């Protein structure tokens, strides 16, 4: 029996469940809205991967759509980092962060036939797509900038709440970067097996990041009674 893409379905279901819970219970402030949007995109990508690998929707349009979806995750993460760590009004400049993602999405519209799902496994999918190296550079750079912002912010802030949120997001950002470090290490050793599946593997690791995002949404909301558990836990240490 073919189980390709089944892990993607499992993760998509959990992420949609997390998102549904957050939409009902949390406060809709800027940080939480960005976090929920990221969870929604992660769930959407996992759903697309399941449809491509298990249902068989492998026309070029579907991997193109999957890459458009995940292309907006790194700039959203950077926007989340800037919003949390800078404490400034980002309205005049925030859209600049998304220029690379928008540019790639527009360019890819004209080369959709070049997209292809080259292989599927239970855990991940591999793709062929144009400008892979350039896309990868613009994809990973915002993640690394976010790590730097969180790492510099944590020892400087006296806001205990923001410090905890930044620590959780720093852990999540480092965790999703582990496949990138492994992939580039193998690439220097002339092994390119992971590079073609890097985005898919990162999104699997990003399930942990979705859990981190769910935590910060809950911790960043003024709940009462038992839903205040996280705040009592950290504030009483």
78 located within any domain? yes
Please report the pLDDT score of residue 226 as a whole number. 45
Please report the pLDDT score of residue 85 as a whole number. 85
Range of the domain at 193: 6-235
153 located within any domain? yes
Task: Look at residues 170, 171, 195, 169 and name the one whose alpha carbon lies nearest to residue 181.
Answer: 195
CATH of residue 104's domain is 1.20.1070.10
Give the strand pairing for 116-120 and 125-128. antiparallel
Please report the pLDDT score of residue 62 as a whole number. 92
99 located within any domain? yes
Any bridge partners for residue 95, and if so which?
none
Number of domains in the chain: 1
Burial group, residue 79, by CB count within 10 angstroms (0-12, 13-18, 19+): buried
Contact 203/43 with Cβ under 8 angstroms? no
1 located within any domain? no
Please report the pLDDT score of residue 43 as a whole number. 94
Please report the pLDDT score of residue 174 as a whole number. 92
- pLDDT tens-place values along the chain, 237 residues long: 677 889 999 999 999 999 999 998 888 888 899 999 999 999 999 999 999 988 888 899 999 999 999 999 999 999 999 988 875 555 557 778 899 999 999 999 999 999 998 888 888 888 888 888 788 888 889 999 999 999 999 998 888 888 999 999 999 999 988 887 877 776 676 666 666 677 788 888 889 999 999 999 988 887 644 445 455 445 555
18 located within any domain? yes
DSSP of 83-95, one letter per residue?
HHHH-S--TTTGG
Which residue is listed with tokens 């144009």?
130
133 located within any domain? yes
């Amino acid at each position: 029996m073919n189980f390709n893409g089944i892990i993607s379905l499992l993760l998509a279901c959990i992420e949609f469940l997390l998102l549904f819970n957050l939409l009902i219970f949390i406060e809709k402030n800027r940080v939480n809205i960005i976090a929920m949007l990221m969870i929604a995109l992660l769930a959407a990508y996992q759903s697309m991967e399941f449809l491509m690998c298990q249902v068989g929707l492998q026309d070029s349009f579907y991997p193109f759509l999957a890459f458009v979806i995940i292309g907006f995750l790194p700039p959203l993460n950077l926007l989340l980092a800037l919003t949390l760590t800078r404490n400034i009004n980002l309205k005049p400049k925030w859209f600049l962060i998304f220029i690379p993602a928008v540019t790639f999405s527009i360019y890819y519209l004209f080369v959709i036939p070049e997209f292809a799902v080259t292989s599927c496994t239970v855990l991940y999918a591999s793709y062929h797509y144009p400008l892979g190296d350039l896309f990868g550079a613009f994809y990973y750079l915002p993640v690394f900038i976010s790590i730097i912002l969180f790492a510099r912010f944590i020892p400087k802030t006296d806001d205990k709440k923001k410090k905890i949120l930044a620590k959780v997001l720093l852990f999540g950002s480092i965790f999703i970067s582990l496949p990138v470090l492994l992939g580039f290490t193998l690439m220097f050793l002339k092994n390119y097996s992971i590079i073609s599946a890097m985005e898919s593997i990162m999104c699997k690791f990003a399930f942990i990041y979705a859990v981190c995002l769910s935590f910060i949404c809950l911790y960043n909301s003024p709940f009462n009674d038992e839903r205040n558990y996280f705040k009592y836990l950290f504030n009483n240490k």
